Amino acid sequence: MRKIERNIKRRMKRSMPVFEDWYRVNGERLGSFEESKSGRGEVLSKTKKGWIAALCSLCALLLLAICLYPILQREDLTFREEDVYHSMLNEQDESGLMSASPFLSQFTVQNVNELRLLRDDSLVFIIADAELLTDDNFYQIKLQIEYNENYLFPSRDIYENLAESMSYGGQTIHYQYFGLDTNEMHLYLLSSEMNGRRLFWEVRCFEDELDSLMQVTF
C-alpha cells in the first residue's frame, strides 16, 4: 500500500504543471475569454443606459403634454360683428354712463347705442355720437367704450397700432392723423383708458389740432 501511495504522489508531482508554464501556454485563451466577458458587460451597460435615456425622454414628453393641455384646451372667447346686436341705451343706463364719464357732460350727446353679445346678452360696447364746440375748434366725435375686450370690431387692429402718443392729465393717449375726410374735416383716431376701460375715439374737426378736446376731456 505504501508503495502505491509513493507512486501516486510521485506522478502527481511530475504531472502538475507550474502555473507560470501553464499560463504561457493558455494565457491567450484566457485573455480572449476575459475580453469576451468584458465586452458583453459593456453591451449590457450600454443597453441599460439606452433604456434609461428612453424612459427619461418619455417622462419629459408626458410632463410637457400635461403642462400644455390646459393651453390647448382653452376656449377661444373672441367674437365679431355677426355675434353682437345693436340697441338704444335706455334713459337709466344713459344716466349711469354720464355719471361714470363726467367729461361727456361737456359734449352735446346726440345719441347713445349699446352692443350686446347675442349668446348671453352681456354688454360689449357703448357707442356715443357727440359734438364739442370750443373757442378754437368744432369736433364731431364717435366714442366707443369697451366692456368686453374679446370683441374684434373691424377697426381694432388700427386702434391697436396708432403711431403717436401724448400725455394729458397724467394719462397716455395714443393717436394718429388720417388726413381730410370727404367733408374736408381733419380725421383722427385716438385710444385712451378711463376708469379701467378702454376708449376708442373717432374725431373729426375743422382745425388741425386736438388740444381743446384734450383739455376738456382729460
Angular region, 31: left φ>0, alpha ψ -120 to 50, beta rest: alpha
141 has which bridge partners?
130, 203
Q: What are phi and psi of 16, to 5 degrees?
A: -75, 115
pLDDT at 95: 78
d(CA 28, CA 22): 11
pLDDT at 159: 97
At 161-196, the pLDDT tens digits run 999 999 988 899 999 999 999 999 999 999 999 888
How far is the first Cα of the chain from the last one, in angstroms, to the nearest whole number?
130
pLDDT at 125: 95
3 state SS for the chain: CHHHHHHHHHHHHHHCCCHHHHHHHHHHHHHHHHHHHHHHHHHHHHHHHHHHHHHHHHHHHHHHHHHHHHHHHCCCCCECHHHEEEEECCHHHHHHHHHHCHHHHHCEEEEEEEEEECCCCCEEEEEEEEEEECCCCEEEEEEEEECCCCECCCCHHHHHCCCEEEEECCEEEEEEEEEECCCCCEEEEEEEEECCEEEEEEEEECCCCCHHHHHHHC
pLDDT at 31: 55
pLDDT at 84: 96
d(CA 149, CA 193): 13
pLDDT at 210: 95
Closest CA to 203 of 192, 188, 181, 182: 188
d(CA 192, CA 162): 11
pLDDT at 170: 86
Do 79 and 147 form a contact (C-beta atoms < 8 A)? no
Name the stretches of the chain with pLDDT < 70.
Answer: 1-51, 53-54, 58-62, 64-75
d(CA 187, CA 155): 14
d(CA 104, CA 70): 43
d(CA 102, CA 105): 6
pTM (whole model) above 0.75: no
